[in-house]
């Protein structure tokens, strides 16, 4: 057998196998190491701290779980959240993440390793990313072979699209969910391949874990039935499918109903997602229909029954009859669902579901969903940013799946199509796209490498001694595209284009043939292809060398890109900010923690803090104070109340604040140092959300000046009177002395005479706060952080004389009041 380069001859197959397996283990170990290490930038650059917003709640919940035990956690009612409504935490969260950390915590303590719960929480996501890499390896191995698996594992280990959600400190549901997603899919594929009830059960168990961990479980809930349905429509019904799906469905659905938050939703909600779903962490409104889940199950039973009947009756006409019966049953079922929805027995689609189809829907009708930046449509550059060259390889991989088109490849194709669409609709759904991109790209790249590493020279008849690396699929790619009988033996060309197998014509042919033929036929075809004579292929070392070098270069750049993106873009805790000065030195901006610590140290333990809902979890976690609203947005009206208070004038807002027992109001203001994520930039969302509930009192156009959002002299009167504006710019001008004050975020010059506050600020009526001549003591902010990012105001108590606070302030500032006349009680009687 002529080979392009010499191969050692005296190796026994056992040595080859053992070495390969050892190498695989080492490779997987290294990949895990790389996956974990690359997620530690956040810890190295900053510190071991919980990031962002939602993780703070998860962390707080985990601490409760660790200190009080599982049953107390399950029944945990948090009176400090959503004051005064409170939050039934146990019934409104996915407890999987906390339970995982709790188990790890207890395990380590049982081993007398007193690890702090915070460190477990911080490092959970990197740890699970190693498991994700392994699960992806297993999944891809089922798809192609071990080498593709290793590539996929390496990709998923460091790809930014996944790292963005799993850096150390990003203690969110997604941290463990992607592992569960991939492992459930692996088990499903395994169950389907083997027709194994055992793997079906494992898939169901991990599905249950996923349901307990992440709202994105609907992705699995819809992917697997859809896969089964497509297989059914392709005429690939088999007892393997029947066993795998029935096992998974029955156990998985029953198990998922045990999660309190999910409850009976699997059988009630159409989109299988609660209207009061967790907003940012789990609002994974993926997808189509719950109909598929149950519907496919029912359909499978019918088809199985039909198959049984057919095996007994064996009439061709009967089969046609059956098909029409199945279709009509499906149509009838559809109408039944419509009728049930219409009757209100099944919850109709909610807004988030619509927003998946019409990206403008949310902005028009449900501002609270649209206000989350993660729910915006994805910008094109972020595909490259998150996936780098994988996004180019991804289609190639999908096409290769068409060529093999076994059941598992159908799965990957469906997954790819669905995830691509949804990733385009919502930024955060990039996360679900990432695994399939890694898998498909790994398949493509490994096929390429297989082809070009294969030492076999093409113009021989011998097919023995193929390298262990080369799998069946790669063989089919390396050789003639559409199986020997169809493709006439052409003259060998020097294929310089490395993507020859993916030429358009071939693809189309494959597609047609692939869809037409059954899975068994496809496998058979590839088998025949691998054994048939090949007259085209790769000749010599130069071609191989060029392509391999090219590929290695790509991979190198990929690693560089991932490292760069991870360290610069995705490792900021966002609780601590970093700015770089012109000389390159780093300056840490720690305003948030400074302010939360102030709250913790200087305010009463039951002092209610009002802020926009983004900061609710952080205040609860770091300042340990009750909040009006937080990141779990199940009550739109309550959020709108806060929005109304923020966007109303002081005298309107004050009764709202008093009614809710608010003691402090916290605003984020970036105008001084140019922190663009501040409340004034979110202000219009507050207005919109408030407008949704009080359209008569709050109107968005009032906050614009001729369609412009301004904060300077030309700001609209409503804008200037609003509490948010006043709190943001209160005494801002003082900072600039004689200069014109400049808002560095909006890039506008704010008025030199700042707003005054009457109902917020230091409690001024008290004797001790004032001298004899009271000057400017009427309203001081309670606290402003170093860089003015966080400003906290105290809500004044009622005046002791029962006066309006505005009048009381005017009095204590020594202003003369206008003489009042007595109230006219009666008309004088004329003519006495």
Partner 1 sequence: MRFLGSALVSFLVLAGKVLTKSSSGDSVLVLLDPSLSRANYSIFFGGLEQQGYDLTFRAPKHASPAIAEYGVPNYSHVILFTPDTKSYAPDVTPQSLVGLLSENTNLLIALSPRQTPLTSLATEFSLILPPPGTPLLSHHPKRPEPANVIPVSVSESPILTPDTNPVWFSGVPHALGNSPYLVPILRAPSESFAADSTDDSGSGTILSASDKGGEGFWAGSHIGLVTGFQTTKNSRAVFAGGVELFSDEYAKKALPSGQRSGNAQFARDVAAWVFQETLTLRIDRTEHHRVNETAAPEMYTINDQIVYTAYISAYDRKTSSWKPYSGITDMQLEFTMLDPHVRIALPPVSGEPGKYEVQFRAPDRHGVFKLVVGWRRKGYSFLHTTTTVPVVPLRHDQYPRFLSAAWPYYAGAISTSVGFFLFSALWLAGDVKGEKKNLKGVKSE
Shortest Å, Cβ 632 to partner 1: 15
Question: In Å, how far are 220, 225, 240, 353 from 295, measured between CA atoms?
Answer: 15, 8, 19, 19
Cβ(104)–Cβ(120) below 8 Å: yes
Q: With respect to partner 1, which residue has the nearer C-beta, 78 or 450? A: 78
Strand, helix or coil at 325? Answer: helix
Separation between Cα atoms, residue 731 and residue 741, nearest integer Å = 10
Q: Counting beta carbons within 10 angstroms of the beta carbon of residue 601, is it exposed (0 to 12), middle (13 to 18) or buried (19 or more)? A: exposed
Supply 415's token pair.
């997954």
Shortest Å, Cβ 665 to partner 1: 18
List beta partners, residue 589.
Answer: 577
Shortest Å, Cβ 802 to partner 1: 5
Q: Which residues contact 512 (CB under 8 A, 6 or more apart)?
A: none
Shortest Å, Cβ 805 to partner 1: 13
Strand order of the β-sheet with 662-668 is 608-610, 662-668, 790-794, 783-784
Separation between Cα atoms, residue 628 and residue 479, nearest integer Å = 66
Q: With respect to partner 1, which residue has the nearer C-beta, 78 or 679? A: 78
Shortest Å, Cβ 832 to partner 1: 9
Shortest Å, Cβ 242 to partner 1: 9
Angle at 428 between CA 423 and CA 429, to 5 degrees: 35
List beta partners, residue 588.
Answer: 578
List beta partners, residue 722.
Answer: 649
Shortest Å, Cβ 178 to partner 1: 30
Comparing CA positions, the residue from 55, 53, 64, 24 lying closest to residue 146 is 24
Q: With respect to partner 1, which residue has the nearer C-beta, 315 or 586? A: 315
Q: Give me the residue label for tokens 């010059």.
A: 749
Q: With respect to partner 1, which residue has the nearer C-beta, 314 or 581? A: 314
Q: With respect to partner 1, which residue has the nearer C-beta, 121 or 410? A: 410
Q: With respect to partner 1, which residue has the nearer C-beta, 9 or 821? A: 821
Shortest Å, Cβ 313 to partner 1: 12
DSSP secondary structure letter of residue 708? B
Q: With respect to partner 1, which residue has the nearer C-beta, 308 or 332? A: 308
Cβ(617)–Cβ(78) below 8 Å: no
Shortest Å, Cβ 239 to partner 1: 5
Comparing CA positions, the residue from 756, 759, 727 lying closest to residue 658 is 759
Separation between Cα atoms, residue 39 and residue 164, nearest integer Å = 9
Separation between Cα atoms, residue 615 and residue 575, nearest integer Å = 10
Separation between Cα atoms, residue 63 and residue 694, nearest integer Å = 39
**H-assigned helices in 374-490:** 380-387, 390-404, 407-425, 430-453, 472-478, 483-486
Q: With respect to partner 1, which residue has the nearer C-beta, 12 or 311? A: 311
Shortest Å, Cβ 819 to partner 1: 8
Cis before 740? omega within 30: no
Separation between Cα atoms, residue 375 and residue 354, nearest integer Å = 13
Q: With respect to partner 1, which residue has the nearer C-beta, 311 or 601? A: 311
Q: With respect to partner 1, which residue has the nearer C-beta, 420 or 777? A: 777
Residue 120 CB coordination number (10 Å): 22
Q: With respect to partner 1, which residue has the nearer C-beta, 264 or 380? A: 264
Supply 719's token pair.
């804008």
Q: With respect to partner 1, which residue has the nearer C-beta, 239 or 460? A: 239
Helix orientation angle between 390-404 and 407-425, rounded to the nearest 10 degrees: 150
Q: With respect to partner 1, which residue has the nearer C-beta, 196 or 479? A: 196
Cis before 84? omega within 30: yes
Separation between Cα atoms, residue 398 and residue 417, nearest integer Å = 9
Shortest Å, Cβ 617 to partner 1: 18
Shortest Å, Cβ 79 to partner 1: 4
Shortest Å, Cβ 311 to partner 1: 5
Shortest Å, Cβ 177 to partner 1: 25
> Taking every pair of C-alpha atoms in the chain, what is the biggest distance, in angstroms?
136
Shortest Å, Cβ 124 to partner 1: 26
Shortest Å, Cβ 371 to partner 1: 24
Q: With respect to partner 1, which residue has the nearer C-beta, 236 or 388? A: 236
Comparing CA positions, the residue from 685, 664, 770 lying closest to residue 727 is 664
Separation between Cα atoms, residue 596 and residue 619, nearest integer Å = 6
User: How many residues in the chain?
Assistant: 832
Supply 290's token pair.
């719950």
Q: With respect to partner 1, which residue has the nearer C-beta, 464 or 816? A: 816
Helix orientation angle between 540-568 and 13-38, rounded to the nearest 10 degrees: 30
Cβ(711)–Cβ(748) below 8 Å: yes
Shortest Å, Cβ 222 to partner 1: 26
Q: With respect to partner 1, which residue has the nearer C-beta, 10 or 605? A: 605
Q: With respect to partner 1, which residue has the nearer C-beta, 518 or 740? A: 518
Interface residue list for partner 1 (CB under 8 A): 71, 74-75, 77, 79, 83-86, 88, 90-91, 238-239, 260, 307-308, 311, 606, 626, 659-660, 765-770, 772, 774, 798-803, 811-812, 814, 816-817, 819-828, 830
| Pair type for strands 662-668 and 608-610 | parallel
Q: With respect to partner 1, which residue has the nearer C-beta, 624 or 700? A: 624
| φ/ψ of residue 153, rounded to 5 | -60, -40
Comparing CA positions, the residue from 197, 588, 640, 156 lying closest to residue 386 is 156
Shortest Å, Cβ 692 to partner 1: 20
């Amino acid at each position: 057998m002529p080979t392009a380069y010499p191969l050692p001859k005296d190796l026994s197959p056992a040595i080859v196998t053992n070495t390969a397996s050892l190498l695989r283990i080492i490779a997987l170990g290294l990949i895990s190491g790389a996956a974990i290490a690359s997620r530690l930038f956040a810890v190295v650059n900053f510190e071991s701290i919980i990031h962002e917003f939602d993780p703070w709640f998860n962390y707080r919940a985990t601490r409760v779980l660790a200190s009080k035990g599982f049953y107390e956690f399950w029944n945990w009612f948090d009176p400090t959240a959503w004051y005064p409504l409170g939050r039934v935490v146990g019934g409104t969260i996915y407890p999987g993440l906390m339970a995982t950390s709790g188990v790890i915590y207890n395990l380590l303590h049982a081993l007398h390793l007193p690890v702090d719960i915070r460190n477990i929480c911080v490092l959970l996501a990197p740890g699970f990313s190693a498991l994700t890499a392994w699960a992806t390896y297993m999944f891809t191995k089922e798809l192609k072979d071990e080498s593709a698996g290793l590539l996929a594992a390496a990709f998923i280990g460091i790809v930014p699209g996944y790292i963005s959600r799993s850096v150390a400190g990003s203690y969110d549901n997604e941290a463990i969910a992607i592992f569960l997603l991939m492992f459930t899919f692996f088990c499903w594929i395994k169950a389907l391949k083997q027709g194994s009830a055992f793997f079906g059960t494992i898939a169901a168990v991990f599905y249950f874990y996923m349901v307990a961990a992440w709202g994105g479980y609907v992705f699995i809930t819809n992917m697997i039935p859809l896969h089964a349905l497509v297989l059914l429509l392709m005429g690939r019904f088999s007892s393997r499918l029947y066993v795998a799906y029935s096992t998974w469905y029955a156990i998985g659905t029953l198990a998922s109903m045990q999660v309190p938050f999910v409850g009976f939703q699997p059988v009630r909600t159409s989109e299988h997602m609660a209207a009061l779903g967790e907003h940012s962490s789990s609002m994974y409104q993926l997808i189509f229909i719950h109909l598929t889940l149950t519907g496919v199950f029912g359909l499978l039973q019918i088809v199985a029954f039909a198959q049984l009947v057919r095996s007994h009756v064996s009439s061709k006409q009967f089969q046609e009859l059956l098909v029409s019966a199945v279709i009509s049953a499906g149509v009838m079922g559809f109408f039944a669902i419509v009728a049930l929805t219409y009757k209100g027995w099944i919850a109709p689609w909610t807004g988030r579901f619509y927003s998946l189809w019409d990206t403008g829907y949310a902005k028009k009708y449900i501002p609270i969903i649209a206000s989350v930046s993660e729910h915006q449509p994805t910008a094109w550059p972020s595909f490259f940013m998150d996936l780098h060259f994988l996004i180019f390889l991804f289609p190639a991989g999908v096409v290769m799946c068409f060529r093999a088109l076994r059941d598992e490849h159908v799965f990957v194709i469906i997954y790819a199509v669905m995830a691509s669409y949804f990733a385009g609709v919502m930024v955060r759904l990039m996360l679900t796209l990432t695994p399939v991109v890694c898998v498909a790209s790994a398949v493509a790249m490994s096929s390429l490498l297989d082809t070009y590493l294969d030492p076999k020279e093409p113009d021989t008849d011998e097919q023995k001694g193929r390298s262990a690396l080369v799998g069946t699929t790669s063989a089919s790619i390396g050789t003639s595209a559409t199986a020997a009988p169809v493709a006439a033996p052409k003259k060998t060309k020097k294929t310089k284009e490395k993507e020859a197998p993916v030429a358009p014509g071939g693809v189309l042919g494959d597609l047609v043939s692939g869809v037409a033929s059954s899975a068994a036929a496809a496998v058979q075809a590839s088998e025949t292809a691998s054994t048939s004579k090949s007259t085209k292929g790769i000749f010599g070392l130069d071609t191989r060398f060029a392509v391999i070098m090219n590929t290695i270069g790509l991979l190198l750049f990929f690693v560089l890109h991932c490292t760069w993106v991870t360290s610069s873009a995705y490792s900021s805790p966002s609780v601590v900010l970093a700015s770089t000065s012109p000389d390159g030195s780093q300056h840490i901006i720690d305003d948030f923690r400074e302010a939360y610590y102030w709250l913790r140290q200087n305010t009463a333990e039951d002092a209610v803090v009002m802020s926009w809902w983004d900061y609710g979890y952080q205040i609860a976690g770091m300042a340990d104070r009750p909040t009006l609203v937080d990141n779990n947005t199940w009550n739109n009206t309550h959020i709108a109340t806060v929005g109304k208070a923020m966007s109303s004038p002081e005298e309107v807002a004050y009764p709202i604040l008093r009614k809710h027992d608010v003691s402090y109001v916290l605003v984020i203001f970036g105008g001084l140092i140019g922190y663009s994520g501040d409340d004034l930039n979110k202000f219009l969302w507050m207005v919109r959300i408030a407008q949704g509930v009080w359209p008569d009192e709050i109107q968005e156009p009032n906050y614009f000046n001729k369609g412009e959002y301004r904060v300077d002299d030309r700001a609209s009167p409503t804008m200037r009177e609003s509490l948010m504006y006043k709190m943001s710019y209160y005494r801002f001008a003082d900072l600039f002395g004689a200069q014109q004050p400049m808002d560095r975020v909006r890039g506008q010059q704010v008025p030199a005479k700042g707003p005054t506050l009457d109902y917020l600020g230091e409690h001024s009526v008290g004797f001790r706060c004032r001298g004899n001549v009271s000057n400017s003591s009427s309203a001081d902010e309670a606290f402003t952080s170093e860089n003015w990012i966080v400003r906290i105001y105290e809500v004044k108590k009622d005046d002791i004389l029962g006066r309006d606070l505005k009048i009381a302030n005017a009095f204590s500032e020594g202003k003369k009041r206008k003489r009042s006349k007595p109230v006219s009680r009666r008309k004088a009687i004329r003519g006495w």
